[in-house]
Structure 1
Amino acid sequence: MFAPYFPADEPQKFASVHKVFGASNVNKMLQELPEHQRSDAVSSMVYEANARVRDPVYGCVGAISSLQKQIDSLQTQLAIAQAEVVHMRVRQFTSSSNPGVMDMAVDQATMGESLWSC
């Protein structure tokens, strides 16, 4: 049952999965799945088992949480950069189309920069 999914030249895969899930539980899980899904299931179990060995408390949830924080931070940075681009385009348009309004545009730009400096 295990041979196709845990090759002999990669004993650490089975060792991690066995340590975390137990061989009988892995056997039961694999038997409940259609054969075409078993390889993906084993890959997931290996990933989760390795994560659990590295971080016994949080396992793969810790890695997912860390990645989610990175995504949130990058989305915030992207939103700020997009707002700055819009702000610069407005300043450029205002200064090129109506030179007399430049003083007001500079005042608004200064105020806007203080809003975006997080």
Structure 2
Amino acid sequence: MASKPCAVCKILREPCGTNCIYKPHFTSDSARFQDVHQIFGAVNVAKIFNRLGSEDREIAANCLSYAAEARRRDPISGVYGMKLYYESILNDVEQEIRSALNELETNLGPDQVPKFFDIPIPDDFLNTTASLDSYIEKIKNLTTVEKNNLLQFWKRENQKMGDGASTSAGPSTAFGEKHQ
């Protein structure tokens, strides 16, 4: 018995063999391909896939699916509308953080509020898929000496901030050099 053709081959009315480049990404009953086909067209998807290597096709399939779903939800703005929506949420959160920091500075004094932009970030932080839970576990497993060293770091940073130097210049140069 022959296997069912993938969603792309079915629409293009092409034979769907075992080495079909679309089959791993759009199965025969793929509801996700219906949105992609409606927005971009099966012929355009085929052109895109034929230009890409096998390692990039999964990324392309996910991007096309994401963009098609965004366009289905918001026919006018699509992905751009989602970007604007999430940017507005981010701006609201940043405003709440600034407000909370101002309130802390008012109640505790500016020299008692920790400066979170100086928190050391591991070099592999952006390369890992680890959640915050793994870092919390690492902190819980620190030895007493390691915890004291971390506290000393905070005391040194607070002393630097209390030396009369302006804090309006932004993050320290060590942070800027490390993450540029």
What TM-score do the two structures reach when normalised by structure 2?
Answer: 0.47
1 CA distance for matches of 2:61 and 2:95? 36
Report the CA distance between 1:64 and its aligned residue.
Answer: 1.2
Residues 33-74 of structure 1: per-residue CA shift (max 9 Å, x gap)? 221011011011001101111111111111111010000011
Q: Which residue of 1 aligns with 2:24?
A: 4
Letter of the structure 2 residue corresponding to residue 66 of structure 1: Y
2 CA distance for matches of 1:27 and 1:8? 15
Q: Which runs of structure 2 are paired with 1:68-83 in the superposition (5 Å)?
A: 68-83=87-102
Letter of the structure 2 residue corresponding to residue 76 of structure 1: Q
Answering whether residue 35 of structure 2 is matched by residue 16 of structure 1, we say yes
Higher relative contact order (CA 8 A, sep 6+): 1
1 CA distance for matches of 2:62 and 2:88? 25
Q: Structure 2 unaligned segments of length 5 or more: list them.
A: 1-20, 113-180
Q: Which residue of 1 aligns with 2:146?
A: none
Greater Rg, structure 1 or structure 2? Answer: 1
SS of the equivalent of 2:109 reads helix
**Percent of aligned pairs with the same residue?**
29
Q: Which residue of 2 aligns with 1:104?
A: none
What TM-score do the two structures reach when normalised by structure 1?
Answer: 0.71
2 CA distance for matches of 1:34 and 1:2? 12
Q: Which residue of 2 aligns with 1:52?
A: 71
Answering whether residue 69 of structure 2 is matched by residue 67 of structure 1, we say no
2 CA distance for matches of 1:26 and 1:58? 21
2 CA distance for matches of 1:2 and 1:13? 13
2 CA distance for matches of 1:90 and 1:57? 48
1 CA distance for matches of 2:109 and 2:40? 59
Q: Which residue of 2 aligns with 1:36?
A: 55
Matched pairs, number? 91
Let me know the Cα RMSD of the aligned residues: 1.7
